[in-house]
Amino acid sequence: MTEETHDVRLHVNGATYDVSVPPRRLLSDALRHDCGLTGTHVGCEHGVCGACTVLVDGRPTRSCLMFAVSAQDTEITTVEGLTNPDGSLGPVQQAFLECHGLQCGFCTPGFLTTITAGLAENPSPTRDEAREMIAGNLCRCTGYQNIVKAVERAAELGSAT
């Protein structure tokens, strides 16, 4: 039996990808395998860990809980889209570097996308708000202290620009 496929146009980080995928292709897999954007990481594949978080029309979304066919006509931002136009690190990425907000880096793409959207909504979070912002993402090695610091640092960097 051959599986039905759908032609889907994905808009990712401002570029267009025309892919042909079976309906069961998760958006996370489409980004990684069909678009070659392996910055998006897949941990639990059932919505719990947050590693696969991307922005869909600006809103943090679990790419493992969405099918690529449903993402047609949306604007997707992955971690690859968070750098500055000249290729240097964006403010949230820079803050993670400065604050030692990562060790293995597996969870990092999900944190970076989540925090980018969080700061767009609330550019100067309190410490509690910074913690709340990342409450849906798991990190198994760095611990959250430096990640919370990175949120605060990213807010500083963001307000400076």
Of 93 and 114, which CB lies nearer to another protein in the complex structure?
114
Of 61 and 93, which CB lies nearer to another protein in the complex structure?
61
Q: How far is the CB of 44 from ligand FAD (least distance, A)?
A: 9
Which residues is 54 bridged to in the sheet? 61
69 binds, options another protein, ligand FES, ligand FAD, none, Cβ within 5 to 8 A by partner type: another protein
Is residue 23 a contact residue for ligand FAD (CB under 6 A)?
A: no
Q: Which of residues 113-142 bind another protein (CB under 8 A)?
A: 114, 132-133, 135-136
Please identify which residue in 9, 20, 47, 145 interacts with another protein, judged by CB under 8 A: 47
CA angle 12, 36, 117 (to 5 degrees): 35
Report how far residue 50's alpha carbon sits from residue 43's, in angstroms, rounded to the nearest whole number: 8
Q: Coil, strand, or helix at residue 56?
A: strand
DSSP state for residue 26 in the 8-state scheme: B
Q: How far is the CB of 24 from another protein (least distance, A)?
A: 4
Of 16 and 55, which CB lies nearer to ligand FES in the complex structure?
55
CA angle 137, 143, 147 (to 5 degrees): 65
Is residue 48 a contact residue for ligand FAD (CB under 6 A)?
A: yes
> Between the CA atoms of 35, 147, 135 and 63, what dihedral angle is there, to the nearest 10 degrees?
0
CA dist list (Å): 152 to 84, 87, 103, 157: 19, 23, 19, 9
Residues at the interface with ligand FES (CB under 6 A): 42-45, 47-52, 62, 64, 102-108, 139-142
